[in-house]
Amino acid sequence: MTTMPPIVSAADLVEYPDAVLADVRWCLDGRSGCEAYEAGHLPGAVFVDLEQDLTATSATPTAGRHPFPDPDAFAAAMSNLGIGDDSTVIAYDDTGGMTAGRLVVMLRMLGRNAAVLDGGLTDWRGELMTGAGAEREHLHFTPCAWPAERFADADETAALAAGGGLVLDARTRERFIGEDTRIDARPGHVPGAVSAPWAATIDPESNRFRPVGDLRDHFNSLGVSEAGSAVTYCGSGISACMNILAMEQAGLPPARLYVASFSGWTADPERPVEVGP
């Protein structure tokens, strides 16, 4: 079982001397996270390719842009990265955790010790290494089935939203209301969902997670305390992981993840969308 908090600071790294540092940089606009890693990364960190290591290589459009890989494929990717059954993983990126959170949520769902490095690369004050990095020893990572209770599919998400339950949309408010049409196939959001941008969990000045009390107030203002259960989604199941981790950090039950998210929802022409606030 996971024994570490979902978020750790740079000062906390001394408590985890054997942790695998995972660089999970990725850009929606197509810029190379690997090239950014080679230009400068935390000493000893491995590069985790979100598209190759954390995403299924083939799926139907309604599975969304970044469906979870099957357990065998995920286990193989972790083993190749030098992450084994007993490894502790501390993941970071350059956005405060938006992409690193995906790896951390996946590992924590399986009971593995994993956390996001608070502030990530932008808050790092130490030296950086360049180049491809050293190859890590291949370690055994046992394939484990993804826990069904941590997920919601499109039907469950629709039923929860229609029935007065809480469905959190982690995309920007502009995408939620349908004002920003550059990314999503159809503008708007899942009918009945609530706008809960992942960036609201981050202090814009420090680029770190907001204090626990602030996070709890934030999610309770969205209706978490009144909801029996909550589901969160985003564009493709990546940034929604920040809401999951922030809720756990705040001492709240983490929302279930609708992995296919809005990219999977809009791929089905029978699924309605709602625009506006």
Q: Please answer whether residues 23 and 41 qualify as being in contact, where contact means their C-beta atoms are separated by less than 8 angstroms.
A: yes
Tell how many helices (H) and how many strands (E) occur in the chain: 9, 9
At 189-232, the pLDDT tens digits run 999 999 999 999 999 988 999 999 999 999 999 999 887 789 99
Quick one: pLDDT at residue 101?
98
Domains and CATH numbers, the chain: 7-123 (3.40.250.10), 148-266 (3.40.250.10)
Q: Please answer whether residues 261 and 185 qualify as being in contact, where contact means their C-beta atoms are separated by less than 8 angstroms.
A: no
At 135-150, the pLDDT tens digits run 788 999 999 999 999 9
Quick one: pLDDT at residue 217?
96
pTM, to two decimals: 0.95
- Catalytic residue status for 144: no
Question: What are residue 21's DSSP bridge partners?
Answer: 90
Quote the CA–CA distance of 168 and 231 in Å, as a whole number. Answer: 6
Catalytic residue among 27, 34, 234, 241: 234
Q: What percent of the chain has pLDDT over 70?
A: 100
Residue 265 pLDDT grade (very low, low, confident, very high; cuts 50, 70, 90): very high
Helix (H, G, I), strand (E, B) or coil at 88: strand
